[in-house]
Amino acid sequence: MRRIGPLVVEPRPVASRSASVLARLVAIALALGLGALILEAGGYSARDSYRTMWDAAFANRDALAETLVAATPLIFTGLAVAFAARMLLWNIGAEGQLFLGAAAASWLAFSFPDAPRGLLLPAMVVAGAIGGAAWAAGPGVLRASLGVSEIVTTLMLNFVAILLVDYLVHGPWRDPESSGFPLSKPFTESAILPSFGDTRLHVGFLIALGAAVVVWALLRSTRFGYEVRVIGESQPAARYAGMPLRRNIVVVMLVSGGLAGIAGMSEVSGIVFRIQPDISAGFGYTGIIVATLGRFSAPGVVVAAVLFGALQVGGYALQTTEVPPSIVQVLQGAILFIAVGAEMLARYRVRWSPRRERDRAPFAEETP
């Protein structure tokens, strides 16, 4: 229990589902209110700005498609972070794993440009997963065998992965016709994910949804998922039950890296059609926020990723009006900040309680 003036903050006895839904709705309302204040203070119409953002993100088929395009890589990286976090592993390296996945998929695309599409694309998905998993394997093994913090190792490997792709597109994979730009050759038709109608929305989105279902089922109804949940809640209990902790650390890191790797494949094959240094707008890092907002559950990650995608698309649209990018970023930041703060409201309650001290019941009175 904490006291701030007359306000008392205390944990909710039982985190209720209705309370957590309500907390999120309140958070969205608060966030929009704060955003409106910021916009009005900057001399822009909040109403018009919100309308612009809404139209760009949801108003019609094309807008919705753009939102889902932006959400696709975030679903993958969000799942990657969330899955590892269920076992209390913090994979900060989804960004690097994404780059490695992209590189591995591209390598296949360049090596077998004329392979049939139905063969090449699934192979590229697998290659992306393997690339990402390989990049996470080192941190996983080090954590399992020597207890080296995976937070540090995965983070540092991000820079290595990004520089590695830099090297590839400046060197061996550079397109001779790119007139000096660090770009690879474009992919051939059979290495490109099909898209829906004339939108940019591609099959990668469906793969992302499929991955979410797989992660959900894995955690919920497999023995492996059960072990992950037990280990995440209590390592002593897992050891007591004879669960293989080390092996599971490595396997979870591999799965997590694999998910992030597919994000890379999906971006190069679905959006960029080649490999270049700016294939990711920090998707790996944003995935951490998406996973947190989604409370580390697969369905939660999908919802959070779509909201995040909408915020991005809306933000771009706002920048094309007279609102400066900095205000847009402040607005996005404020919304996120409040949304994360709402997490606390779902788990704690704030009570008005001037003066009279009321104490919290001891959990186990008089037990040693």
- The CB-of-368 to other proteins minimum distance in angstroms stands at 6
- The CB-of-91 to other proteins minimum distance in angstroms stands at 21
- Amino acid type, 236: P
- The number of CA neighbours under 13 Å toward the Cβ of 146 is 8
- The CB-of-255 to other proteins minimum distance in angstroms stands at 14
Q: Which long-range contacts (CB under 8 A, 24 or more apart) does 335-340 make?
A: 335/31, 335/32, 335/34, 335/35, 335/311, 336/289, 336/311, 337/31, 338/27, 338/30, 338/31, 338/34, 339/24, 339/27, 339/28, 339/31, 339/293, 340/289, 340/292, 340/293
CA dist 128 and 73 (Å) reads 13
Q: At 323, list the tokens.
A: 């609102």
- The CB-of-219 to other proteins minimum distance in angstroms stands at 11
- The CB-of-123 to other proteins minimum distance in angstroms stands at 25
Q: How far is CA 121 from the centre of its chain?
A: 23
Task: Compute how many residues bind other proteins; rule: CB under 8 A.
Answer: 31
- The CB-of-352 to other proteins minimum distance in angstroms stands at 16
**Residue 5 within binding range of other proteins, rule CB under 8 A:** no
Which is nearer to other proteins, 113 or 225 (by Cβ)?
Answer: 225
- The CB-of-242 to other proteins minimum distance in angstroms stands at 3
Q: At 302, list the tokens.
A: 């999908």
Q: What would the x/- binding string for other proteins be over residues 308 to 347, using CB under 8 A?
A: ----------------------------------------
Which residue(s) pair with 195 in the sheet? 202
Q: Which of 171, 223, 278, 282 binds other proteins (CB under 8 A)?
A: 223
Phi/psi of residue 195, nearest 5 degrees:
-115, 170
CA dist 76 and 330 (Å) reads 26
Which is nearer to other proteins, 19 or 230 (by Cβ)?
Answer: 230
- Residue pair 135/96 in contact (Cβ under 8 Å)? The answer is yes
Which is nearer to other proteins, 74 or 89 (by Cβ)?
Answer: 89
Contacts of residue 223, Cβ cutoff 8 Å, sequence gap at least 6 = none
Q: Which of 160, 194, 233, 281 binds other proteins (CB under 8 A)?
A: 233
Q: Which of 111, 222, 326, 329 binds other proteins (CB under 8 A)?
A: 222
Which is nearer to other proteins, 147 or 180 (by Cβ)?
Answer: 147
- The CB-of-346 to other proteins minimum distance in angstroms stands at 16
What angle do helix axes 46-54 and 298-320 make, rounded to 10 degrees? 120
Three-state DSSP state, 179: coil
Three-state DSSP state, 95: helix
CA dist 84 and 251 (Å) reads 10
Which is nearer to other proteins, 159 or 224 (by Cβ)?
Answer: 224
Contacts with other proteins in 9-48 (CB under 8 A)? 13-14
**Residue 237 within binding range of other proteins, rule CB under 8 A:** yes
What angle do helix axes 283-293 and 245-267 make, rounded to 10 degrees? 120
**Residue 349 within binding range of other proteins, rule CB under 8 A:** no
Which is nearer to other proteins, 2 or 358 (by Cβ)?
Answer: 358
Q: Which of 159, 181, 224, 337 binds other proteins (CB under 8 A)?
A: 224
**Residue 242 within binding range of other proteins, rule CB under 8 A:** yes
Which is nearer to other proteins, 14 or 146 (by Cβ)?
Answer: 14
**Interface residue list for other proteins (CB under 8 A):** 13-14, 221-226, 229-230, 233-234, 236-237, 239-244, 357-362, 364-368
